[in-house]
Amino acid sequence: MADTFNALTQHFEPQAFSSQPQQSTAHENTAPVNTAHSDADSHYIPRPKRIACVLCRKRKLRCDGKRPSCGTCSRLGHECIYDEVRKKSGPKRGYVKQLEARLAQVETLLKSQEANAHPSLENGASFAATNSLTGVLQAPPGDDVDPSMSLLDGANAPALSVQAFSEAEGTRSSTSGGELISLGLEEPLPAQEVIDELNAIYFEKVHPGLPMIHRPKYLASLAFAPSSRPPVCLQYMIWCLAASVSDKYSSLHETFYQQSRKYAELDELKGLGGRVVSLAHCQAWLLISTYEFKMMFFPRAWLSSGKASRLAIMMGLNRLDGQGLDVKQTLPPANDWTEKEERRRVFWAAFCIDRYASIGTGWPFTIDERDISSKLPASDESFIENTPQETPLLPDVLEGEDITMLSPYGGVVVLGCMFGRNITHLHRPEPQDNDHDLNGVYWQRHRSLDNILLHISLAMPCHLRLSVGTTDPNVIFCNMAIHTATICLHQAAIFKSEKNKMPEQIATESKRRCIVAADQISNIMKMISHLDLSVMNPFMSFCVYLAARVFIQYLKFRPSDSAARSSLQFAFSALHKLKTKNPLTGSFILQLNLDIEGSAFGDALQSKSACFTGGQQQDAVRKPHFWKSKQRLTLTYPLDLRWQSHHKHLFSGKEKPT
């Protein structure tokens, strides 16, 4: 490239720097032709170029060049002056050499990037080298690519091919090279038709369970200039979650996830790191952690949820409705109510995921309930339509006030808070707890939490109660979560009462509350069995799992109870159905199989459960390499999901809450 540029430069130097560029060029161009003519033509002398006077040049008038005074100056009576010294035209001295040096630098960078591209192809992280993307990604500008050809040929090529994406076939890239540079991308984006379809799937199936992105504003921002669009990491994560619940694009979600994490981490390294202090990056990390929990990437999920929580706190999203400004403000004031509401929703999403992440481990959560002064989220309709709505504070709802003002998303937040209080109740013992005394601090806390759950259940407004036609995933999850929280609370009470040899009626009452709550969860699953379960909250599988374990515990004492058997069989079939779009459910199924292994009802139950799942039972119990098949859990809360290394077991075998 540099040689070509030098040749062009040498060719045009006479034109750029000669005092008579046209004269020289005319002579060079006509010389080969004139050799075939007469000798008279070979003595041709070009006419000298006429120079305009200073006045005509200044006024940009046509000058006839007559001396001592041109026609214009004679007619106007002005003094006619000719400037014999001509200014040089063309680039400044050394400019061409600078261009050559910059071209050489660009060539060196391109060569180094081409050399580094091969390892990423081998690791499967390259966007363009994934089989699943055949026919989906756009061709780079100027490349002639046959869309009917697979990127990788052979017997291992996936069934997903160009025929599955006929709308993208033959599509040329709409993303120019300059736009790719502006976006900071290293690969072309998917075809616009694929992007539109994935965005539609996300807002139809994923967004209802985690409504923290303002759909109209987000879709409108995609048409802005590259620098004003949402970060690429957020876009990729939206496509990832959409592909994970779509049969058509199911093979793409892992690649989208890798790209999203890559660009999110690259944004952290730019400058001093301030670029990530944005609502969109917090949303991206929340979606990343949600996906990682679903796919059982537990260590990464724990760290990602912590990063999202820290970002939310850094931006002050936990104090949006506080009276005092006693902390550093990192975000400008919201432009309108909708923008402020979106900030609230992002914070409460971080709050809920922070609680869910702690439930399976017993590890402390990041967000302290005492640091929150943001109001609960408004209804989805008000959020989308930009209609301001008054909402209560979390402490007011927990004290029994303003429960009727709760939105479905607000109800999910309140139940997430109750899960968090259960964790604190179990894992932050105080010296004066005296759990052997019914009047001790431990049992006072137990009764207080139980009263809050009972009051919420009784005072729940009509729009949060389940009916036959209910399809809102947050309403469904609210009703499931309240019974799940009841099971968690009373399982700990059973353990404490039996450990301290307290009156039998305490454990009996808690067992009754557990079996009633488990039966309610089973009934809710029967009511929604006809719905698309991929829309539901991913944490729902934990609710069904906990209900199933209550039935198992119950059947160990009453193995002939046909109603309990039927409920357990249905719970197994529901978990298998949830597992198709939520791989995390597979770990719960495996634990249940370990719990019923060797029991009097286990063999019959597994054979019947296989009928419900269409023969998928064998696939469900295939053990990951980090499982130890002999580990068991008693029905205690919380689950001990410890992950010290990739080879450690997922569940602990402890017989008590950890």
pLDDT tens sequence across 20-77: 444 443 344 444 444 444 454 555 566 666 788 888 888 888 888 888 899 889 988 8
In percent, the amount of the chain with pLDDT more than 70 equals: 70
Q: Which of the pair, 81 or 44, is modelled with greater confidence?
A: 81
Q: Please give the residue that has the higher pLDDT: either 291 or 646.
A: 291
Please choose, from the candidates 211, 202, 201, the residue with its C-alpha nearest in 3D space to the C-alpha of residue 473: 211
Q: What is the mean pLDDT of residues 434-454?
A: 92
Render pLDDT for 571-601 as a digit per residue (tens, 0 to 9): 999 999 999 889 999 989 998 988 887 666 6
Measure the CA–CA gap between 350 and 330, rounded to whole angstroms.
18
What rounded mean pLDDT belongs to the chain?
A: 77
Which pLDDT score is estimated for 429?
A: 82
Separation CA 289–CA 306 (nearest Å):
9
Residue 393 φ/ψ region, left for φ over 0, alpha for ψ in the -120 to 50 degree band, beta for the rest: beta
Domain boundaries, the chain: 1-51+86-123
Share of the chain above pLDDT 90, in %: 47
Separation CA 85–CA 155 (nearest Å): 77
- At 94, is the pLDDT very low, low, confident or very high (cuts 50, 70, 90)? confident
pLDDT band at 602 (very low <50, low <70, confident <90, very high): low
Average pLDDT, stretch 271-282?
Answer: 92
- ω before 68 within 30° of 0 (cis)? yes
Calpha distance 35→37 (Å, rounded): 6
pLDDT at 155 over 70: no
Is the pLDDT at 336 greater than 50? The verdict is yes
pLDDT for 230: 94
What does each C-alpha distance from 303 to 5, 19, 308, 316, 624 come to in angstroms?
51, 69, 9, 20, 22
Checking if the pLDDT of 149 tops 50, the result is no
List pLDDT tens digits, range 539-577. Answer: 999 999 999 999 999 998 888 888 999 999 999 999 999
DSSP 328: -
* Residues 6+ positions from 561 with CB-CB distance below 8 Å: 554, 555
Where does the pLDDT of residue 184 fall: very low under 50, low under 70, confident under 90, or very high at 90 and above? low
Q: Which two tokens stand for residue 325?
A: 């400004």
Q: What is the Cα–Cα distance from 69 to 314, expressed in whole angstroms? A: 77
Q: Collapsing DSSP states into helix, strand and coil, what is residue 531?
A: coil
Closest CA to 279 of 385, 356, 176, 350: 350
pLDDT in tens, 357-414: 998 777 888 999 999 999 999 999 999 999 999 999 999 999 988 899 999 999 999 9
**DSSP one-letter code for 204:** I
Q: Are 286 and 353 in contact (CB under 8 A)?
A: yes
Identify the residue with better confidence: 277 or 120. 277
Q: What is the pLDDT of residue 183?
A: 53
Q: Which has the closest alpha carbon to 145: 160, 155, 133, 157?
A: 133
Is the model's pLDDT at 643 over the cut of 60? no
* pLDDT score at 324: 60
Q: φ and ψ at 651, to 5 degrees?
A: -110, 145
Q: Is 374 exposed, middle or buried (0-12, 13-18, 19+ CB in 10 A)?
A: buried
Q: Side chain identity at 49, as an amino acid letter?
A: K
Average pLDDT over residues 283-294: 96
Q: What is the mean pLDDT of residues 300-320?
A: 94
Residue 173's pLDDT band (boundaries 50, 70, 90)? very low
Instruction: Please list, residue by residue across 525-562, b when 16 or more beta carbons sit within 10 angstroms of its beta carbon and e when fewer do.
Output: bebbeeeebbbbbbbbbbbbbbbbbbbbbbbeeeeeee
Whole-model pTM: value is 0.68
DSSP letter (8 states) at residue 333? P
d(CA 461, CA 459): 6
Q: What is the pLDDT of residue 485?
A: 95
Q: How far apart (Å, rounded) are the C-alpha atoms in residues 538 and 139?
A: 36
Q: In this model, does residue 486 exceed pLDDT 90?
A: yes
Token representation of residue 212: 């923290």
pLDDT greater at residue 271 or residue 141 = 271
Q: What is the mean pLDDT of residues 456-484?
A: 92
- Percent of the chain that is helix, strand, coil (3-state, to 5): 60, 0, 40
